[in-house]
Amino acid sequence: MSSPTNMTCPNVTFQNPEQAVFIGVYSVVFIFGLTLNLTALVVFFRNSKSRSHIIVYMIHLAFADILLVCTLPVRIYFHSRLGDPHPIICEISGLIMLSNMYSSIFLLTCISFDRCIAVCFPLSSRVREGRKKAWCVCLGIWILTIATSLPIYIKKKQANMNKSNTENFICFGGFPFYATETAPLVSTLIIGFGIPLIVMILSSWGLIRAISKSTAVQTSDLVDSAKIKRMIITNLAIFLFCFLPYHIMLLILSYKPSCSVLTAYRYSLMVACLNAMLDPVAYYFTTETFRREMEFEAVCKIRQMNSHSSDGNNRSRAPLTT
């Protein structure tokens, strides 16, 4: 196994074909990601009167994605080889990217979980009260991601100050030393990705199971259960497509540091950035679909309760059983 401290990869990312790929993808993500997320924020704030708890998560998700895409011009400039950005600009933009990438992961997890409990337990007062704490959860996510990202910046600053010269500094071409250390790596793979992935999978399974067992949905022509299931699976697939390769390559890079693996790691980071462009599209349509579906379920539930109360039966049957 080669040592990362002694590993040098000349021209590993500076070949013309690779330059074009990075520049093209980052440019597309920046333009569409910024436009779509700003549009989403405008829509959310214009409909503030009807804002639901899940919209709170989506507003914060849009902010996180906007902050992420705003770091991409620095990477586009770097790969264009027009000049090397200042080391501080490189470090801060890298810090913002990673911090908001994990903010997006946690917020996407919260959105999935919130939908699951809202559909599976539509009449639970405890669930309703818990969902009202959405803004507290978002605040906790921002504090967590910022607090865990700052050590990366501090570590890099200390490393640069200890170097006798900084002539070999490469903005985004260096080895991610801190991220591949044992403690940060384990916490990243478990807390930053593993637990959110498990929650996403269980929430998706719970939603599909609840919809499949809902008599109101299955017997109604107003709600397309197959479409809802496809959207749930699509959202989970986007999550896996964007974030799974990055964390796999991070793990491989920590155990087998090489120039080829380092290049694959950079490509996986580029793929992870695609999420900022895909989020507003995927979650806008699913939010609209779930809103209509839950409104329909609420009407059916009220009718069922009125019917039972008129017959003297106080039993309550939820339309979505778990």
pLDDT tens string 234-245 = 889 999 999 999
Instruction: Give start and end residues of each alpha helix (H) in 121-133.
Output: 125-131
pLDDT attached to residue 247: 96
Q: Token match 């940060």: residue? A: 184
The answer as to whether 255 is a domain residue is: yes
The answer as to whether 177 is a domain residue is: yes
pLDDT attached to residue 213: 78
pLDDT attached to residue 67: 95
The C-alpha atoms of residue 80 and residue 48 are separated, in whole angstroms, by 41
Could you tell me if 100 and 65 are in contact, meaning their C-beta atoms sit under 8 angstroms apart?
yes
Binning pLDDT at 50, 70 and 90, where does residue 46 land?
confident
How far are the Cα atoms of 56, 117, 138, 285, 320 from residue 53, in angstroms, in the given order? 5, 12, 11, 17, 20
The CATH number that applies at residue 227 is 1.20.1070.10
Task: Give the pLDDT mean for 28-42.
Answer: 92
The answer as to whether 195 is a domain residue is: yes
The answer as to whether 259 is a domain residue is: yes
Read off the pLDDT of residues 106-115 as tens digits, 9 standing for 90 and up: 999 999 999 8
Could you tell me if 91 and 166 are in contact, meaning their C-beta atoms sit under 8 angstroms apart?
no
pLDDT attached to residue 22: 93
pLDDT attached to residue 125: 83
The answer as to whether 60 is a domain residue is: yes
Query: For the chain, what is the mean pLDDT?
Result: 79
Nearest 10 degrees: CA dihedral of 100, 285, 136, 133? Answer: -160
The answer as to whether 180 is a domain residue is: yes
Does the pLDDT of residue 12 top 70, yes or no?
no
Reported pTM: 0.83
Q: 128-132, 162-166, 177-181, 187-191: which range is least confident on average?
A: 162-166
Does the pLDDT of residue 293 top 70, yes or no?
no
The answer as to whether 316 is a domain residue is: no
Task: Give the pLDDT mean for 16-39.
Answer: 91
- The first and second tokens of residue 143, run together, are 């504090």
The answer as to whether 243 is a domain residue is: yes
pLDDT attached to residue 251: 94
Does the pLDDT of residue 214 top 50, yes or no?
yes
Domain count, the chain: 1
Could you tell me if 207 and 119 are in contact, meaning their C-beta atoms sit under 8 angstroms apart?
yes
Domain that holds residue 89: 11-310
User: Which DSSP symbol is given to 189?
Assistant: I
- Please choose, from the candidates 321, 303, 290, the residue with its C-alpha nearest in 3D space to the C-alpha of residue 224: 290
Task: Give the pLDDT mean for 289-302.
Answer: 50
